[in-house]
Amino acid sequence: MSVLRIENLTRRFGGLVALSGVNLELRENEILGLIGPNGAGKTTLLNVISGIYLPNSGRIIFDGKDVTESPAHIRCRLGIGRTFQIIQPNQNLNVLENVMVGSLFGQGAGLKEARRKAQEICQFLGLSRIERDITRLTVLEIKKMEMAHALATQPKVLLLDEIMTGLNIDEAREVIELVRKIRDQGMTICVIEHMMRIIKELTDRVLVLDRGEVIAEGLYEEVSNDPRVISAYLGEEE
C-alpha cells in the first residue's frame, strides 16, 4: 500500500530543470533513503511534496487524495511533516514552544493539549531542558527540536532533510535509533542523507537522484553497485 505517490513530477527554476519526470512511491511504514550529489534536486523534491513549490507538471497523491495543488499548510494538516536542511528555529520561542507550534497548527490542538503533547514528544526524543532559550542549544538538541516540531504535527509521512549533517558519529547513531523508533510508531519516513554508511544502516530502500532525474531505485546493495550511480558520484568528486 503506498502512502505517497508521485507521478511524473517536473519542476523548473527559470531555465534550470530541478526535477524532471520524477516518479516515486512511499510504501506504508518504510524508511526510504533519498540520495544524490549536491544540487541533484533532493531538497526541491521535498519542497514540492510539502507544498513550498508547486510543480510545473505531474501529480502528487497523498493518502489517496490528489494534493498537487494544495497549499503547504493544508498538506501539513493532512499529514506531511518535514524538517529543513537549513534549520530555521524560531528564536522568539523557547524549545517547548517551538515544538508546540507543530501541534497547535498541524493538528489544531488547544494550548494546553499542545503543551502536553509537545512535552511528550520531547521526552520521547530525549530532549531535556525544554524551557530553555534556543540560542543556547547544542547542534544535536537543535536537530532533535526540529524533529520534535515535525512530529508534533502528527504526520503520516515524515520527510527529513539531512538531519545528521553536522553531528558526530555517536550523535548520528543516537538519531538513527530515534528515526527507527519513530518508524516503529507507524510512520512512513523519507530521509535525505549524504553519508552512505547511514543510508545503508537505516533505510529499507534507496532512490538516487541526479540532475533532477531518478537514475536508480532499489535495495542499497543493488543501487550502490549501479554503474550510473557510481559515475554520478564520481562526477561530483572531480
Ligand X SMILES: Nc1ncnc2c1ncn2[C@@H]1O[C@H](COP(=O)(O)OP(=O)(O)O)[C@@H](O)[C@H]1O
**Contact with Mg ion (CB under 5 A) among 32, 35, 43, 51:** 43
- Please report how close the Cβ of residue 151 comes to other proteins at its closest, in angstroms: 11
Find the shortest distance in angstroms from Cβ 84 to other proteins.
Answer: 6
Region from 71-79, 189-197, 203-211, 222-230 binding other proteins, contact rule CB under 8 A = 71-79
Which of 23, 28, 57, 73 binds other proteins (CB under 8 A)? It is 73
How near is the Cβ of 86 to other proteins at its closest, in Å?
10
Of residues 41 and 58, the one with the C-beta less far from Mg ion:
41
Answer yes or no whether residue 13 interacts with ligand X by CB under 6 A: yes
Q: Among candidates 220, 127, 130, which has minimal Cα distance to 174?
A: 127
What residues from 88 to 107 belong to the interface with other proteins (CB under 8 A)? Answer: 88, 90-93, 97, 100-102, 104-107
Residue closer to ligand X (CB basis): 21 or 115: 21
Task: Tell the residue number behind the cell numbers 507544498, with chain if given.
Answer: 51
Among 43, 153, 188, 224, binds other proteins (CB under 8 A): 153
Question: Which range touches other proteins (CB under 8 A), out of 37-45, 75-83, 165-173, 202-210?
Answer: 75-83
Please give the DSSP secondary-structure letter assigned to residue 136.
Answer: G
- The rounded Cα 118 to chain-centroid distance in angstroms is 19
**CA of 95: how far to CAs of 130, 153, 218, in Å?**
5, 15, 38
* Residue 7 host element (H or E): strand 2-13
The residues in 32-61 that bind ligand X, with binding defined as CB under 6 A, are: 36, 38-44
**DSSP-assigned states of every residue in 113-172:** HHHHHHHHHHHHTT---TTS-GGG--HHHHHHHHHHHHHHT--SEEEEES-STT--HHHH
Residue written as grid cell 520527510: 159
Q: Across the strands, what pairs with 5?
A: 25, 61
Among the listed residues 84, 158, 162, 216, the single contact to other proteins using CB under 8 A: 84
Exposure string of 164-180, with b = 16+ CB inside 10 Å and e = fewer, is: beebeeebbeebbebbe
In which residue are the cell numbers 553536522 written?
A: 166
**Smaller CB distance to other proteins: residue 20 or 153?**
153
Q: What is the smallest separation between the CB atom of 72 and other proteins, expressed in angstroms?
A: 4
216: how many CB neighbours lie within 10 A of its CB? 21
CB-CB contact of 62 with 37 (8 Å): no
Residues that bind other proteins (CB under 8 A): 50-52, 54, 71-73, 76-77, 82, 84, 88, 90-93, 97, 100-102, 104-107, 110-111, 149, 153
